């Protein structure tokens, strides 16, 4: 007889254990985003992957139109500002009989909802009174809001908004009399909610490079203003970078408004226009900032970005710094200046990509675009790639 074969269970177990150990080692070396995606559901890794993507992006801008003209216009679009009341009327009951005597009490309860408590401005209860006797008592969520006699006719009771909840209860009863029955016959019980719809402030931003600001000769802001509704008095205020440009009464009329600007009104980089009203409903259309520059001065579009210690270590360890741009234009001719190094572009393509690692430094970095033709940059991105 031949010899029995040795059991292979131990050997197979060792191989499996070794494979598991190797797999765990490989997973541990994977990038955090890839590791998370492997071990979890995709939606559980959004924060991890987003943080890493943001860490890899050094600069992300959407410059829009670039021009070599001596005049540049920033078209900021349209704004609708309003503060207005929107009433909402609801029938709670068609008729109610309220009675009270020594033999019993027939109070009535009604319910209603308020979904937008934050914007609730007023709340009123309406009903018609027939055949009144005694004092009527109305409670809102356990709080007495009316206690007194009401004559026959149409009645309005103001309900304090401080007592309002999402789900509300109204209890209507009548006071008791001595050896007599007090009663009210109520018809067409309605509740009126008045909500304040509000969009009273809007902010628009645009960028002005330091060279643009330095060379501004004339500047103006223009827009068309249209009054859709104005009930009473109100004011219109307009700020540029926290400096007041307009503070005047609102008038329900329309027309074009032009405001002269000074170069000192601008900031290098992001500039903020703030429109606000405190009454009415107004449209502000075709908002445009128009800057005219000194002749013979090149238009420069400037940006800056920072390379921190961690990102600098990634570059030293072999990551590349890649410049990517998406264009819209027939022919794109421009100079790109990165920390003093010039890269010429002359292309009809709608995209441009270049490794700019050798021009990058730790800390602050300067990036300029000098257009020699008119074109649009849909997206400008500088990022790290391993």
Average pLDDT, the chain: 86
* Stretch 341-354: mean pLDDT: 93
Q: What percentage of residues in the chain have a pLDDT greater than 70?
A: 84
Residues 6+ apart with CB under 8 A from 172: 96, 98, 107, 108, 109, 110, 136, 137, 138, 139, 184, 186
Q: Which of 61, 31, 60, 58 is nearest to 384 (CA)?
A: 58
* Stretch 24-31: mean pLDDT: 62
Which pLDDT value is given to residue 383?
A: 95
Residue 103 pLDDT class (50, 70, 90 cuts): confident
Residue 13 pLDDT class (50, 70, 90 cuts): low
* Stretch 13-39: mean pLDDT: 65
The token duo for 381 is 């991105």
* Stretch 210-227: mean pLDDT: 89
Task: Measure the CA–CA gap between 65 and 76, rounded to whole angstroms.
Answer: 12
Which pLDDT value is given to residue 1?
A: 47
Residues 6+ apart with CB under 8 A from 380: 59, 60, 61, 62, 63, 303, 323, 324, 325
HSE-up of residue 117 (Cα within 13 Å, Cβ side): 11
End-to-end CA distance of the chain: give it in Å, rounded: 63
> Which residue(s) pair with 226 in the sheet?
283
Given a cut of 80, whether residue 179 has pLDDT beyond it is no
Q: Is residue 265 within 8 Å of residue 238, measured between CB atoms?
A: no
HSE-up of residue 385 (Cα within 13 Å, Cβ side): 13
45-73 residue pLDDT tens: 655 454 445 669 999 988 777 776 678 88
* Stretch 37-44: mean pLDDT: 60
The model's pTM is 0.58
3 state SS of 12 = helix
Q: Which of 139, 115, 285, 279 is nearest to 204 (CA)?
A: 285
Which pLDDT value is given to residue 209?
A: 76
Given a cut of 80, whether residue 312 has pLDDT beyond it is yes
> Which residue(s) pair with 229 in the sheet?
281
Furthest-apart CA atoms within the chain: distance in Å: 119
Beta strand 201-208 pairing with 136-140: unpaired
Task: Measure the CA–CA gap between 101 and 174, rounded to whole angstroms.
Answer: 9
Which pLDDT value is given to residue 293?
A: 82
121-147 residue pLDDT tens: 999 999 999 989 889 999 999 999 999
Q: Which of 134, 124, 138 is nearest to 171 (CA)?
A: 138
Q: Is residue 109 within 8 Å of residue 148, measured between CB atoms?
A: no
73-90 residue pLDDT tens: 889 989 999 998 889 999
Which pLDDT value is given to residue 51?
A: 47
**Site of tokens 């920390």:** 339
Rg value, the chain, Cα: 36
Given a cut of 70, whether residue 244 has pLDDT beyond it is yes
Phi, psi of 34 (to 5 degrees): -65, -40
Task: Measure the CA–CA gap between 141 and 165, rounded to whole angstroms.
Answer: 8
Task: Measure the CA–CA gap between 382 and 319, rounded to whole angstroms.
Answer: 13
* Stretch 250-261: mean pLDDT: 92
DSSP 296: T
147-157 residue pLDDT tens: 988 888 999 99
Q: Which one has a higher pLDDT value, 180 or 383? A: 383
Q: Which one has a higher pLDDT value, 160 or 22? A: 160
Residue 102 pLDDT class (50, 70, 90 cuts): confident
Range of lowest pLDDT (15-24, 181-190, 276-285):
15-24
DSSP 2: P
């Amino acid at each position: 007889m031949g010899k029995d074969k040795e059991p292979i269970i131990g050997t197979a177990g060792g191989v499996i254990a070794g494979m598991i150990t190797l797999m765990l080692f490989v997973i541990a070396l994977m990038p955090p985003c890839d590791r998370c995606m492997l071990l979890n559901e995709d939606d559980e890794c959004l924060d991890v992957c987003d943080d890493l993507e943001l860490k890899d992006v050094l600069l992300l801008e959407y410059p829009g139109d670039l021009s070599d003209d001596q005049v540049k216009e920033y078209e900021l679009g349209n704004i609708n500002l309003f503060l207005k009341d929107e009433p909402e009327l609801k029938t709670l009951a068609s008729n109610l009989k309220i009675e009270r005597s020594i033999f019993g009490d027939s109070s009535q309860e009604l319910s209603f909802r308020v979904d937008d408590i934050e914007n609730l401005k007023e709340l009123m209860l309406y009903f018609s009174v027939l055949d009144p006797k005694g004092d009527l008592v109305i409670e809102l969520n356990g709080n007495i809001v009316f206690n007194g006699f009401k004559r026959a006719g149409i009645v309005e009771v103001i309900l304090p908004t401080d007592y309002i909840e999402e789900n509300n209860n109204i209890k209507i009863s009548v006071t008791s009399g001595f050896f007599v029955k007090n009663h009210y016959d109520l018809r067409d019980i309605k509740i009126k909610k008045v909500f304040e719809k509000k969009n009273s402030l809007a902010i628009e931003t645009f960028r002005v490079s330091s060279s643009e600001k330095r060379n501004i000769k004339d500047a103006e802001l223009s827009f068309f203003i249209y009054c859709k509704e104005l009930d009473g008095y109100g004011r219109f205020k307009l700020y540029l970078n926290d400096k007041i440009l307009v503070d005047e009464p609102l008038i329900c009329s329309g027309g074009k408004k032009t405001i002269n600007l000074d170069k000192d009104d601008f900031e290098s980089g992001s500039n903020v226009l703030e429109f606000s009203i405190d009454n009415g409903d107004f449209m502000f259309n075709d908002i445009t900032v128009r800057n005219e520059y000194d002749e013979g001065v090149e238009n420069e579009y400037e940006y800056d970005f920072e390379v921190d210690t961690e990102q600098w270590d990634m570059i030293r360890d072999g990551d590349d710094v890649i410049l990517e741009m998406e264009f819209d234009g027939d022919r794109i001719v421009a100079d790109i200046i990165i920390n003093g190094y010039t890269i010429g572009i002359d292309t009809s393509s709608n995209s441009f990509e270049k490794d700019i690692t050798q021009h990058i430094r730790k800390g602050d970095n300067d990036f300029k675009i000098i257009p020699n033709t008119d074109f649009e940059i849909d997206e400008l991105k500088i990022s790290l790639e391993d």
